[in-house]
Structure 1
Amino acid sequence: MVNLALDIGGTKLAAARVGDNGTLEGVEQTPTPPTRFWDTCSALLTKVAAGETVTRVGIASAGPVDIVAGTASPLNIPELCAGFGIVDAVQALFPSARIRFAMDGAAAAWGEHLYGAGRGVPNLLGMVVSTGIGGGVVLDGKMAVGRTGNAGHIGHVVVDSEIVCACGAIGCVEAVASGPSSVRWARSQGWPGTTGVELSKAAAAGDTIAVAALHRSGTAVGQAIASAAALLDVDLVVVGGGFALSGPLLWDPLQESISRHAKLSFLTNLRVVPAELGGLGTLTGAGALTLE
């Protein structure tokens, strides 16, 4: 018998077995397909299960999610954005399994709280800056869930911008500061690259447009963090995700932006640190759901 973890992201799908102490075993990853999502996802889960009886599955998905209905509607996976019944699909694949489901940002924050940069911190905000921008909240040592499971979805906190987001709102931090959003802005300024990785490398090499793009992203992320920290009164903010690995050219303006906006006395000692679990943070959090 085996427990499984599944991470559904805009860039990749990942699955693994979950050990008794929450460790991930036999991690498998594959790019998120543009079509036939469930065929790819079910094949990945079946491969990881390796013919054993699956007793529990922890699922983390890019949001929005609805943990009551068991559906995921990620904006950055076009095939699913109208809603996909992920819980029912996984249950049909493993009929005897108990399923736990969370938004990916919430799972990532939970993973960091249990095993990463947030160990021992009862109140923290987790933020993932990658293909999209997600987040989750741990308050008083418990994962905050909310009415539908979207508590902590910081990607749609509004910052100082008039850009229209994929969700239909104006000024969401995801529309300004995610990897693809930063690439779009840089290309509008004449930069010729196509990916966030290329943008980060170009900035490190001194490309002025790329440097400006990372500064713009870091500033917007800092604004969102300052707003969320004032609302939630957390001790710590843990920032992960592939685009967050862009280094000081992103992190320095992020910290400067927080200093400029977080002026309340209870925010004086707010700490903002990189995630420790890397690209497996969300999958780790999904695995932890199976141990509860």
Structure 2
Amino acid sequence: MYKSKILLWLFLTCLISACSTTKIATSETASEAEYAPAPQAETSAKPAPSSTHAKAKANARAASTQNNVHSDERLGTKWGDDLSSYVTQVDLKRLSSSPIDETQIRYASKQFSGRGINSISLASGKISFSVVDDRGRILPLYRDGQNYYLSANDGQSYQLRYSNTSNQTFEIVASVDGLDVLDGSRASRSKSGYVLRPYSSFAIEGFRKSNSSVASFTFSKPQNSYAANSASGSIQNTGVIGTVVYELKAPKYYPPKKTNDGYAPAPNAFPAD
């Protein structure tokens, strides 16, 4: 167990409540899927030619090649507008020095190929990670194998949103363009992070300037990025958003069971219920 104490940043309860009630526009629910059973193999059927498998592999390689980013498509994240964002420090311990999960999103000014997804599942499905705009609308991600991509636009502001659906407490160590979002220094797994409480959500809106404000994340040309204009950063590291997850030693939260304490229950919403 990781014994040394770490200082973690925790969103104030009022901010967590505000974030958890933020409305996020999701894609419309798809209609019920249909499928046709595979036909029975005929005894006289000839085996598929060996070139079929080779062609499938070639198509997969071509799809991955389409996600290569050219120099004129590269983007970074600049030091954006000043936003009010209040935090406080808490003293918690990690259960282990090793993270339980981590992921990266590569972004650029291009249309990526792959399976479109709304969020990335972390910590065995306990955490949902998505990128949203200022209105809370999800920016579509693309999954190609084990890689994730985001089609971004120069000048667009964004936030990193995390939701915890479990009774465990986690630490989120986030980085943008190779820089830690809390102190602006070179990204590292050993950095402090934000505390994600049980059954709660929050959004990281920018690089932290103080305990009361952040500089909003805004996509920009690489030369205008914070990484390119910071002593700790490098223009070579632009175009990557990183997330590392640790579990923290904290009491597990169990929602109270609903009870009327012996009093008359509230009426149903509709008399016919």
Using structure 1 for the length normalisation, give the TM-score: 0.26
Q: Which has the higher contact order (CA 8 A, sep 6+)?
A: 2
Larger radius of gyration: 2
Higher helix share: 1
Using structure 2 for the length normalisation, give the TM-score: 0.27
Higher strand share: 2
